[in-house]
Amino acid sequence: MTGAGFPKGDSWRQARRDMVSDQLRGRGIGDRHVLGAMAALPRERFIPPAMRNLAYADRAVPIGHGQTISQPYIVARMTEALNLQPGHRVLDVGTGSGYQAALLALLGARVFSIERIAELSASAVATLASLGIQGPELVVGDGSLGCPSGAPFDRILVAAGAPRVPVSLLDQLKENGQMVMPIGRASLQILVVVRRCDGQTVETPILPCRFVQLIGAEAWGSRC
Ligand code: SAH
């Protein structure tokens, strides 16, 4: 794991502690469960070796296939905004490296994670197995259509931007359920919390952000 030029185990731990205090707690992330889980999860293991020196950098990092693992602060903000309870059934759209899925599992969720790029999903399966994280069910497919085999969900987290909230995701969200996803143009989105209550859908904007595109039947077309 620690090839030439890469930090050794202790340095990773220190980098992780610094990330939690400077990038997360220092910027207002207060949920102690989220902070604890991010302090425990070895983010470097989810990042390709060539990029590993950026594992705890304050930015998104490439993971191959033109995709990225989100910036730590954004992961924390989205996870905190989910208001997760142990045992919740959660759909994670855009498995990517598997980091977000692992985090949700550490927080006690029953995780279904869907990814459209089979190679990324396979690599995430291997990473989770190497860390002994057995909970998440990883699926290959178009997550803009949700994941009917695991529905309905208490929570849905989407780590890729779409022009609008996909109807299929809303349909697979339980009453009083809640979803967090970036909505907007391809180049800039707003992170939005979507709640379902009394048959109504309420959207609350959180912050501007820039995610890779959600590509699928209820999102951006594959040639965008
Ligand atoms: N949560 C990831 C980062 C996700 S990046 C992590 O922790 O590493 C966004 C991911 O969404 C990319 O891997 C991309 O391939 C995937 N994606 C894009 N459109 C998708 C779709 N319709 N269904 C499933 N995954 C999709």
- Strand-pair category, 67-69 with 153-158: unpaired
pLDDT for 24 equals 98
Answer whether residue 182 is part of any domain: yes
The total number of structural domains that make up the chain:
1
pLDDT at 223: 53
217, 142 Cβ separation under 8 angstroms: yes
Q: Report how far ligand 1's centroid is from the alpha carbon of 115 (Å).
A: 5
Name the pLDDT band for 10 (thresholds 50, 70, 90).
confident
pLDDT digits (tens, 9 = 90+) for 92-103: 999 999 999 999
In a domain, 110, yes or no: yes
Q: How far is the CA of 214 from the centre of ligand 1 (A)?
A: 7
For residue range 37-84, what is the model confidence (pLDDT) as tens digits? 999 999 999 999 999 999 999 999 999 999 999 999 999 999 999 999
Enter the pTM of the model.
0.96
Segment (H or E) for 188: none
Classify residue 107: in a domain, yes or no: yes
- Give catalytic status of residue 70 as yes or no: yes
The span from the CA of 110 to the CA of 116, in Å, is 20
Does residue 195 form part of some domain?
yes
Q: Tell me whether residue 42 is in a domain.
A: no
* Residue 213, strand partner residues: 161
Quick one: which atom of ligand 1 is closest to the CA of 63?
8
Domain assignment present for 221 = no
**Residue in 70, 97, 121, 168 annotated catalytic:** 70
Q: Residue 198: give its domain's CATH number.
A: 3.40.50.150
pLDDT given for residue 6 in this prediction: 59
| Residue of 69, 78, 116 with the most ligand 1 atoms within 8 Å of its CB, for mutation | 116
Residue 1's pLDDT band, with cuts at 50, 70 and 90, is very low
The parent domain of residue 202 ranges over: 65-209
What is the C-alpha separation between 101 and 150, in angstroms, rounded? 15
Task: Confirm whether 167 is domain-assigned.
Answer: yes
Kindly state whether residue 28 falls inside one of the protein's structural domains. no
Q: What are the distances in angstroms from CA 88 to CA 72, 144, 162?
A: 22, 20, 24
The two beta strands, 189-197 and 110-115, are unpaired
| Nearest CA owner, ligand 1 atom 10 | 94
Closest C-alpha to ligand 1, atom 26: 94
